[in-house]
Amino acid sequence: MSHAATTPLPPPPGRLSLPLPVRAVALLAAIAGAATFAWTLSRGEAALAWSAYLIGAFFTLGLAIFAISWLAILALSRGTWAVTLRRPTEAMTTWLLPGGLLTLGIGFGLRALFHWADPEAVAADPLLTHKSPFLNPTLFWIVVAGSLVVWIAFGAAFVRLSRRQDREGGITASLRTRTLGAIFLVIFALSFSVVSFYLLLSLDAHWFSTMWAALVFTDVAQTGTAFLAVVAGLLVARGRLAGFLNENHLHALGKMLFAWTGFWAYIYFCQYLLIWYANIPEETVYFLRRTTESWLPHLLVVTLLKFVIPFLLLLPRAAKRNPRILVPTAMLLLLGQFMELYVMVGPALGHGAEPAPGHLPGVELLVTLGFLGLFTLVWGWSLARHEAVPLKEPALAACLDYHS
């Protein structure tokens, strides 16, 4: 709940910047990830290299996608409790441009990843031929690039309105952000669904799921909330935004993280239940591949990391307010997202009756850490360019007086 805004504004906190050790580790991770990708590609393991690239690119792009959608949702729902988290969220949207360009780089590895990108395979497969008006390299480039351009434009518009409010104050920017958010969410729902089909669903080109877009968006929302929970928890633990961010805001984030964790389990189980109940061969193939001897342990790990462990850890009220519990739990969810993407991508690379064999995802993890290192550097650079708190936001006082 939120009480009447009576709390006086604390002294401005200035700007936030990443500590030098964090920047150094992020840079080393980026270099290691790029080297791992190049080394794997040079060894002739194109499928492994590009699958690792896809996992890392989508993981980090999902963080930026979450940020822009969350800004829109908060504007529409008038979520004043999150005003002091706006700067970290806006900084996440900065990744849309470099991350979008890196995501388009997947186009250079289409034939290594997607069966439908091989003309010979399409000619020999009636189902792929039937789907070729949608599943073809030309449309892939057009749709994915077009969606990224739209998202980048909306992200820039959200940030531009926020900067205008920093200069002029008042409620005009907030009202325009609300209108922009309503327009964006409609466009986003359609474009994100199609992009998720191209990048992930079409890896299993013979398979289909009517719940895929909902599942992937839940992944993005859960992971993005986890990233913000890590940032907010560390800021509260170090007293960096004292007076602007406290355990009440952490509690709200923790409740959101808990809710997305339960919703992920609901969506994932619903997809499985519908496929199990119908027992149609072209649907069951997806889970049959992922419950083989080499992939079942990975699937079980995903369930533990994305639902069982965080659900139990976040169940108590005190856990959501304690950075020592909230931050490690959120980091487990980030690891769980990597594992889920690995389970989504890895088995599909066989392009046959049998899935590609499961293995410990060392290459995939290093490449993904490389993407995360780049994301962290871009995010930190953007965060340090502006004041840590939107001091002229009319709802700031209500945010500071928020109780949960």
CA atoms within 13 A on the CB side of 403: 7
Tens-place pLDDT, residues 25-77: 999 999 999 999 999 999 999 999 999 999 999 999 999 999 999 999 999 99
pLDDT digits (tens, 9 = 90+) for 11-29: 888 899 999 999 999 999 9
Any idea what the Cα angle at residue 91 is, between residues 86 and 96, rounded to 5°? 125
Position 5 pLDDT exceeds 50:
no
Residues 6+ away with beta carbon under 8 Å from 252: 81, 82, 402, 404
- Reported confidence tier of residue 1, pLDDT bands at 50, 70, 90: very low
- What percent of the chain has pLDDT above 90? 80
Cα–Cα nearest to 193, from 168, 211, 170: 211
Domain assignment present for 211: yes
Distance, in Å, from the CA atom of 324 to the CA atom of 322, rounded to the nearest integer, reads: 5
3-state secondary structure of 142: helix
Q: Which amino acid is at 186?
A: V
pLDDT tens profile 265-309:
999 999 999 889 888 888 888 898 898 888 999 999 999 999 999
- Tell me, yes or no, whether 15 lies in a domain: no
CA 84 to chain centre: 21
Domain hosting 38: range is 20-399
Q: Is residue 9 part of a domain?
A: no
- Distance between CA atoms of residues 341 and 51, nearest Å: 10
Residue 3 resides in a domain: no
- In Å, what is the CA distance from 273 to each residue of 43, 202, 286? 41, 21, 13
15 DSSP β-pair partners: 387
- Token couple for 221: 């929302």
pLDDT of amino acid 351: 61
Position 183 pLDDT exceeds 50: yes
Separation between Cα atoms, residue 262 and residue 112, nearest integer Å: 35
Residue 143 has pLDDT above 70, yes or no: yes
Residue from 335, 345, 269 nearest 306 by CA: 335
Three-state secondary structure call for residue 396:
helix
Name the DSSP letter for residue 245.
Answer: S
Instruction: Please compute Rg for the chain using Cα positions.
Output: 21
Over pLDDT 70: what percentage of the chain? 97
Check pLDDT > 70 for residue 2: no
Inform me whether the pLDDT recorded for 91 exceeds 50.
yes
Q: Is residue 10 part of a domain?
A: no
Does 156 reside within a domain? Answer: yes
d(CA 140, CA 128) in angstroms, rounded, equals 15
Phi-psi region of 357 (alpha: psi -120 to 50; beta: other; left: phi over 0): beta
> Does residue 29 sit within a domain?
yes
Query: Has residue 350 got a pLDDT over 80?
Result: no
DSSP calls for 323-361:
HHHHHHHHHHHHHHHHHHHHHHHGGGGG-SSSPPPP---
Place of tokens 């805001």: 249
What is the rounded CA–CA span in Å between residue 5 and residue 53? Answer: 47
Half-sphere exposure of 398 (CA within 13 A, CB side): 12
What tens digit of pLDDT does each residue of 158-177 get? Answer: 999 999 999 998 899 999 99
Backbone angles phi, psi at 15, to 5 degrees: -110, 150
pLDDT at 4: 45
Query: Would residue 2 count as lying in a domain?
Result: no
Q: How many domains does the chain have?
A: 1
